Amino acid sequence: MKNHNEQRSREIVPAVDENNIVPYEKWIVCFSDSRKKGIKLSYREFFAQGFYEAFDMVMTYAEKQNVDIRWFKAKRNCGGTLANYKFVKLESFCTYCNKRFNHEEPIPCNHVNCYSTFCSRHCMNDHIMLLHKNKA
């Protein structure tokens, strides 16, 4: 009987060591684009598990978009208006075509109580035709 209980207690092992989990937190990054007339600043927000993961995500985005990084920091460390403001996500998924995009601002659906976002006007128009026009 003792052998059976020992075997059973060895089988019940947590899949993840909860003491070593790093929680996700929200980060804010500021980019500048000096290629355009004047210097255009843009802010984005994203989730990362720590400084090094955040750094990797920011650098990857900056290289893809050919923009300069001004700064990035955890949102909890941003005081005043930055901590209370909701920014555009670093990378978004189109509700209609499910593509990941980060080259432009997401286009929101203009219908009441619809929180869908789209990568293009074409996707938004198709969404409206399929979802909202049929309900009217």
Question: How does pLDDT run along the chain (136 residues), one tens digit per residue?
Answer: 556 666 555 666 666 666 777 778 888 998 888 776 767 888 888 888 888 999 998 998 888 878 889 999 988 887 777 777 878 788 777 888 887 776 667 788 888 888 888 888 888 888 888 888 766 5
The dotted CATH code for 22-89 is 3.10.20
Q: CA nearest 44: which of 76, 78, 86, 80?
A: 86
Give residue limits of the domains in the chain. Answer: 22-89, 91-136
Q: What separation in angstroms does the CA of 88 have from each of 8, 29, 47, 122, 132? A: 49, 11, 12, 20, 25
Q: Please give the pLDDT value at position 101.
A: 74
**Per-residue pLDDT at 11:** 65
Predicted confidence at residue 5, as pLDDT, reads: 60
pLDDT of residue 81: 77
CA distances, 64 to each of 58, 60, 68, 101, 108 (Å): 10, 6, 11, 11, 24
Please tell me the predicted confidence (pLDDT) of residue 114: 84
Q: Please state the φ and ψ torsions of residue 5, each to the nearest 5 degrees.
A: -65, -40
pTM of this prediction exceeds 0.85 = no
Alpha helices, H only, 12-113: 51-65, 81-84
